[in-house]
């Protein structure tokens, strides 16, 4: 197991993923195929150690593998003499005793709280805090989504602004079929292209780029009559489901 920093330098401190900022010129951490494959194999190897095969239609296989592991290595009895209990208890026995005292007051003065709380009251407070954490994480993830690749896209979910980029080949003195955008546009505001290989002897001035065929489609063109070219394009527009 390795962090994403083993495959790219575009990371935050301690090898964590980072958000990019277009205004500051800081790219986000790319999701590398090597890292995804490593995570996939880690999970698959653990599952296959306890289950006969992987099943694409079963999203509980990791849970089942953990349960199978637990069945092979049950929790050993733990001596609790240091807690004035004196006898050895398994986890199940201890949990049973605790559940029977769920409504007893538990003094938390040793932790700087000072008041008595029941186990139920403490669990309620912890559940509320976990909800706050989950909401913050969801809001953070919903801010932006992106596919960082040679043919990729970035969506600002706050505004619906959709940015896409890619490249395509165009034969000499011709046009291509419509660009296969990685994700559909509701409306394209702007799309432009430039070729990366030039010819100083071509009489047509090396013209190449992109042109609109309707509100959501663009094609690539190449006026160079002596050579085919690779054209890099970039498009900006509105994502489906957002009002202009």
Q: What confidence tens digit (pLDDT) does each residue in 106-134 have?
A: 555 555 555 555 677 778 888 888 887 77
Answer for the pair 47, 62: CB distance below 8 angstroms, yes or no: yes
DSSP-H helix ranges across the chain: 33-50, 61-72, 91-100, 119-142
Cα first-last separation, the chain: 45
Q: What's the pLDDT score for residue 101?
A: 58
CA 139 to CA 88: how far, in whole Å? 46
How far out from the chain centre does Cα 205 lie? 44
Ordered by where they begin, the domains of the chain are 4-72 (no CATH), 78-141 (no CATH), 147-238 (2.60.40.3940)
DSSP-H helix ranges across 55-184: 61-72, 91-100, 119-142
Q: Tens of pLDDT along 145-168?
A: 677 788 889 988 888 899 999 999
CA 232 to CA 216: how far, in whole Å? 18
How far out from the chain centre does Cα 56 lie? 20
Q: Which two tokens stand for residue 56?
A: 């694409």
Answer for the pair 229, 197: CB distance below 8 angstroms, yes or no: yes
CA 50 to CA 9: how far, in whole Å? 36
Q: Is the pLDDT of residue 91 over 80?
A: no
The pLDDT confidence band at residue 88, using thresholds 50, 70 and 90, is: low
Q: Which two tokens stand for residue 55?
A: 């099943």
pTM of the shown model = 0.40
Answer for the pair 220, 233: CB distance below 8 angstroms, yes or no: yes
Radius of gyration of the chain (CA): 29
Q: What's the pLDDT score for residue 198?
A: 64
């Amino acid at each position: 197991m390795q962090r994403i920093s083993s495959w790219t330098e575009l990371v935050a401190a301690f090898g964590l993923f980072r958000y990019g900022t277009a205004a500051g010129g800081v790219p986000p951490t790319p999701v590398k195929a090597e890292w995804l494959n490593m995570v996939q194999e880690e999970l698959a190897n653990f599952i296959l150690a306890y289950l006969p095969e992987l099943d694409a239609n079963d999203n509980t296989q990791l849970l089942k593998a953990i349960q199978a592991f637990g069945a092979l290595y049950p929790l050993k009895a733990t001596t609790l003499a240091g807690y004035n209990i004196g006898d050895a208890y398994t986890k199940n026995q201890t949990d049973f005793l605790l559940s029977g005292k769920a409504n007893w007051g538990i003094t938390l003065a040793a932790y700087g709280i000072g008041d008595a709380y029941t186990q139920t009251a403490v669990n309620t407070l912890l559940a509320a805090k976990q909800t706050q954490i989950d909401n913050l994480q969801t809001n953070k993830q919903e801010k932006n989504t992106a596919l960082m690749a040679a043919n990729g896209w970035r969506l600002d979910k706050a505004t619906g602004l959709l940015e896409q980029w890619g490249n395509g080949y165009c034969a000499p003195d011709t046009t291509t079929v419509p660009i296969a955008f990685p994700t559909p546009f509701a409306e394209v505001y702007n799309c432009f292209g430039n070729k990366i290989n030039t010819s100083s002897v071509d009489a047509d001035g090396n013209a190449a780029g992109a042109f609109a065929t309707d509100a959501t489609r663009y094609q690539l063109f190449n006026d160079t009559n002596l050579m085919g070219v690779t054209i890099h394009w970039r498009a900006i527009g509105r994502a489906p489901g957002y009002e202009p």
